[in-house]
Amino acid sequence: TDKGLTAGREIRVLFVGDSQTYYPGVSYADIILKTPGITGKKIARNGAGLRTINKFLKKGLAGDDYDIVSIMGGGNNSSSSSPPYSVSRYPSNELLANYVRNNDKPDVILDVNSAFSDPKYFKADNVHINKLAHQQLAAGWIAAIKEKFGVI
């Protein structure tokens, strides 16, 4: 959420999510939190479903104030063990992302399911995105924030 982001001011980010966000030292969140001018917190756990991620979100927002909230999840609500995922009440992550775009009006959405569908972006388990994908996701995240807010 935009709270008057200005150039030269440190940006505070809350990351919440499942194993993709959790992936210690390699996740897009860890990469972004190492970027000069960005600080924040990561609340994530392997196997976290959307209900748990919602609890992480509430916990994070209750404990501190953030300029941006970044959420990644949905895969653990899937009946499939590999992409394309399907989410409770929604046939796919793409439809869930479209629902969020159209109803909740977030400032920025990065569709990881579409951007990293090539097998080269997955670890051997074919579920978790690999280091290359996390690096590209972090770069895309930072570029999107720069474009939207003109900062970082």
User: pLDDT, tens digit, for every residue of 47-82?
Assistant: 898 888 888 988 998 988 888 888 888 777 765 444
Beta bridge partners of 41: 14
Q: For residues 44 and 62, what is the distance between their CA atoms, to the nearest angstrom?
A: 16
| Interval 16-31 mean pLDDT | 92
| Interval 125-134 mean pLDDT | 88
With a CB cutoff of 8 Å and minimum separation 6, the contacts of 25 are none
Which pLDDT value is given to residue 39?
A: 93
How many other C-beta atoms can be found within 10 angstroms of the C-beta atom of residue 35?
A: 15
